[in-house]
Structure formats: C-alpha cells, structure tokens
Amino acid sequence: MAEVQAVSPSARDDVVAAALDLFDRHGFEATSVEQIAKAAGISRSTFFRQFGGKDDVVFADHELLLAQLRSYLTAAHENPWVAVCDAATQVFEHFAADPQLARRRYRVVRTVPALREREIIAVFQYERLFDEYLRRSIPGLDPLDAVSFAAVVTAVHNHVLRQLLRDEVAIPVETLRAALDDAMHTFGVHPDPDPPADDQVVVAVFPRRMPLAEITRRVATSLES
C-alpha cells in the first residue's frame, strides 16, 4: 500500500507559494500539477488530495479565511457592526502579512479570465457572510440595511487591499480601519455618537439614517446595563 503523505499547515503554505511562483513566472496554463508538486516536494496524488486542482491553490487562502471568519462571527460580539468591520480587517491583515505572495496571486488572477470569475464569487462569499451575520445578530434589521452595509464594508476592504496589491506600496492596516470607521459613520452605526448635525432627530440621540433595528438594539443594550 502506498504511504499517505500528510501536509501540515506550513507545508500547505509552501505548496501555495511554489504554485504561485510558477504561475507568475511561466503562466497559469503553462504550469502543470507535476511541476508544482515537484517544486513543493510532494507527490502528485498528495497535491490533488489537498487542493483538488490548480485553481484551488490560487484560492486556498480564501477558503481558510472564510472558515476563520465564520468561526469568529459565530462568537458573541458587543456590536455586530464593529464585528463585521473587524472581520474584514482580519482578511486584510492576512494578505498584508505576506504582500509579495499576495501580489503574485493578484498578478496571476488578473491574467486568467476563469480565475477572475472565481475571485468575484469569493468576494461575494464574504459579502454574504457579513449580510447573514447582521440579519442573525440584529433582530428586525431591514434586509436592505444588512446587505447594504455588507456591500460597503466589502467594497471598502477591496479598495484598500487593491492599493496594497496594485501599487506595491506599504498600506498600514490603520488605513483600512479609518475607512471602515468613516463607513460606519456614514451608515449611522458607529459606536461613538456623531457630533450634532442638522439631520439628527428623534430625542436628539440617533441620526435619521441609522437603521431602526440598530436603534432598538442600542436602547435594549442601554436598558440592560
């Protein structure tokens, strides 16, 4: 019986790095699974057992991140809106931790139409995860408010991440956090109250644009404390 090769998380990362390096240098279509396995020091069968195919290597990080965020958003959080922003920040921090690898992935995806289409699907998975979490965490939240905020957070994250990948300059995570803070203020759900403004009505506490379900959540939280 053939020996089964196990792949540790670090070894899995090595396979991803080897594959992206080959894709970047030789092209996605021109690189074979055999070449990737040889460069990573594993067998062809182990590669298929761990990844399934070449395109799965490109998006291996997304699968792990989605699982990580599902676990994170299953836990209790004091403020669901902040939790969504924190989840998006975790994704950025993951890719920013190894920007050169992330940039190789970005270059590969941009040159292969099928990979670009799969990337669109991956982005939608994050957005849907945030949307479903908000609906689950804030009873009575208008679905339009949930999907709108999820889309805003995803778009803001992607914009800042693309700066890191495309411009090949260091983008600190504080840049994303500041942008997400602005998004929460714009949407009327920032944990810190906005300064008085003309559009603030209703007991002079909540901005008009704040979703009714969020007002209810904050009032209930205040009454419980």
Q: Which domains does the chain have, with CATH numbers?
A: 9-54 (1.10.10.60), 59-224 (1.10.357.10)
| d(C-alpha 48, C-alpha 56), whole Å | 10
pLDDT digits (tens, 9 = 90+) for 12-46: 888 999 999 999 999 999 999 999 999 999 999 99
What is the model's pTM? 0.80
Q: How far is CA 55 from the centre of its chain?
A: 18
205 has a pLDDT exceeding 90: no
Taking a C-beta distance cutoff of 8 angstroms, is the pair 141, 214 a contact? yes
pLDDT mean across residues, the chain:
88
